[in-house]
Amino acid sequence: MISSLSAPIARTLGWLAALALVAGLQIAAPAAHAERIKDLGSFEGLRSNQLIGYGVVVGLAGTGDDSLDYATQGVKGVISRFGLTLPPGVNPALKNAAAVLVTAELPAFAKPGQRLDVTVSALGKAKSLRGGTLVLTPLRGADNEIYAMAQGNLAVGGLGVSGADGSQLSVNVPSAGRIPSGASVERAVATGFESSPALTFNLADADLTTALRVADAINLAFNDQRAKAQDGVSITIAAPPGAESRIMMMGLIENIQVKPADPPAKVIVNARTGTVVINGGVRISPAAVSHGKLTVTVKEAPRIVQPAPFSRGETAVEPSSAITAQEEKNPMFLFKGGASLADIVKAVNAVGASPSDLVEILEALKQAGAMKAELEVI
């Protein structure tokens, strides 16, 4: 009897020791620089699944779509559930109904009976879904199986009003709305994490240094070598089979704090809006920059020329142009070796460069080899 209880007791004591070690690491780690492992990625297989369905919204105040065949077919399908059949060739006026697409997200570990928020969007010419009610709609996954059923009253944040003379007023988007807790889960999705050969943790952003640090932190917390970095994204973790033990291990791993690697130096330029974002890893080699702006102005002031009295001349338009050129004299500024983000911002603000000027300066520094960073234009 004592030998049969020794294994569970030893396992429990091992988990408690690991928990105490993790708690000690969290207290010792500087919170300003470390992040929890759960904030850096997620375990493989524990992801959400998208659901979609086709339904009908009824109860609209004359803002539905009455010219769509599939809206009419949808209403006929709803009516047929109650044993009612419309005569052949008769299409009901559907100004109070609209065909819609219903979307939802099924989170990992969702169980039958749990509620989901759904988004309802008009599929056709419906002007507004305000005041409508979604009729019972099945929601299917990528495998075409039904995982949830949706129904309820819509909450629409938009407003659309039209007048008899054709004038219209719209606030936000009245053709889409949400139903909080409007769907009920009917089937759970098997994750398979309890029977997989090993657990795999995937980083949200690929980074070799961060992957190695996560693996080292897990090994330090459990005082063994169960975690190994496979590449810049995946870390495999040896784990005993069984849902109970793996859930406990995953809960401990998620709360281990790790200092992620610094991101690569990058400059993001939005050419459409002129937005420039520079991260803290950008450094500038010694370089001198002088940036000026040349403005050319052409003024046209045509004059009307009248002929002399009692002459046979004609009134004419005499062109008169004035061309001026003005060049701004901005001082040259110097980037010392290893200039940081603060130095770049200070120098650019000193010369009063606009966002478009800053883009040109950064491109020139990149071409000159003075900026060691990736320049990405979006």
**Range of 140-154, 168-182, 321-335 with top mean pLDDT:** 140-154
**Which residue has 């883009």 as its token pair?**
359
Amino acid, res. 113: G
Cβ distance 72 to 92 under 8 Å?
yes
Is the pLDDT at 360 greater than 70? The verdict is: yes
Q: How far apart are CA 93 and CA 82, in angstroms?
A: 19
pLDDT digits (tens, 9 = 90+) for 253-265: 999 999 988 888 8
Nearest to 258 by CA among 44, 16, 43, 39: 39
Cβ distance 269 to 362 under 8 Å?
yes
Token duo for residue 81: 């559930």
pLDDT-derived band of residue 28, with 50, 70 and 90 as boundaries?
A: very low
Q: How many residues does the chain have?
A: 378
Token duo for residue 169: 């007023």
Token duo for residue 294: 């040349």
pLDDT digits (tens, 9 = 90+) for 218-262: 999 989 899 999 999 999 999 888 888 888 888 899 999 999 888
pLDDT digits (tens, 9 = 90+) for 81-99: 766 676 666 556 567 888 8
Query: In the chain, count of helices (H) and strands (E)?
Result: 6, 23
Count Cβ atoms below 10 Å from residue 21 Cβ, excluding itself: 16
Token duo for residue 248: 């406990």
What is the DSSP code string of 225-242? --EEE-SSSEEEE---SS
Structure confidence at residue 60 (pLDDT): 87
Nearest to 219 by CA among 197, 237, 246, 201: 237
Q: How far apart are CA 218 and CA 201, in angstroms?
A: 11
What residue ranges do the domains of the chain occupy?
Answer: 2-46+193-258, 49-185, 266-377
Nearest to 168 by CA among 177, 158, 160: 160
35 SS3 class: strand
Q: Is the pTM of this model over 0.75?
A: no
Structure confidence at residue 107 (pLDDT): 92
